[in-house]
């Protein structure tokens, strides 16, 4: 599991193919999916989204980038998908999140 976590944390900004992460675990993709879910209680794609949104929150709170830049910098390739995932996890849209957490 450490190899999987380390790989994900070091590569979350790029697209990670299922075959690629499965190879890190030395498993075929279907076995990897079952293994990861059994160990963590969530899918690898949900785990990856959680990492990306956590990083996006950090970038938003640093207040140095526009939301669109944060989207791409955190590993999302689709702006509407980023908004959907961000709201699903934080309960707020990115701009509202920034406004409610911004400290001067």
Q: Which domains does the chain have, with CATH numbers?
A: 2-101 (1.10.10.60)
What is the model's pTM? 0.91
For residue 103, the model assigns a pLDDT of 57
> Which of 36, 49, 40 shows the shortest CA–CA distance to 87?
49
At residue 43 the predicted structure's pLDDT band, cuts being 50, 70 and 90, is: very high
pLDDT band, very low/low/confident/very high, at 46 (cuts 50, 70, 90):
very high
**pLDDT computed for residue 40 by the predictor:** 96
Cβ atoms of 3 and 11 within 8 Å: the answer is no
Give percent of the chain with pLDDT exceeding 70. Answer: 98
Mean pLDDT of the chain, nearest integer: 94
């Amino acid at each position: 599991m450490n190899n999987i976590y380390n790989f994900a944390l070091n590569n979350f900004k790029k697209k990670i193919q299922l075959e690629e992460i499965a190879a890190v675990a030395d498993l075929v993709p279907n076995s990897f999916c079952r293994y990861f879910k059994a160990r963590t209680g969530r899918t690898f794609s949900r785990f990856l989204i959680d990492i990306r949104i956590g990083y996006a929150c950090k970038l938003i709170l640093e207040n140095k980038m526009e939301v669109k830049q944060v989207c791409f910098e955190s590993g999302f390739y689709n702006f509407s998908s980023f908004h959907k995932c961000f709201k699903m996890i934080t309960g707020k849209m990115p701009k509202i999140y920034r406004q409610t957490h911004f400290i001067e």
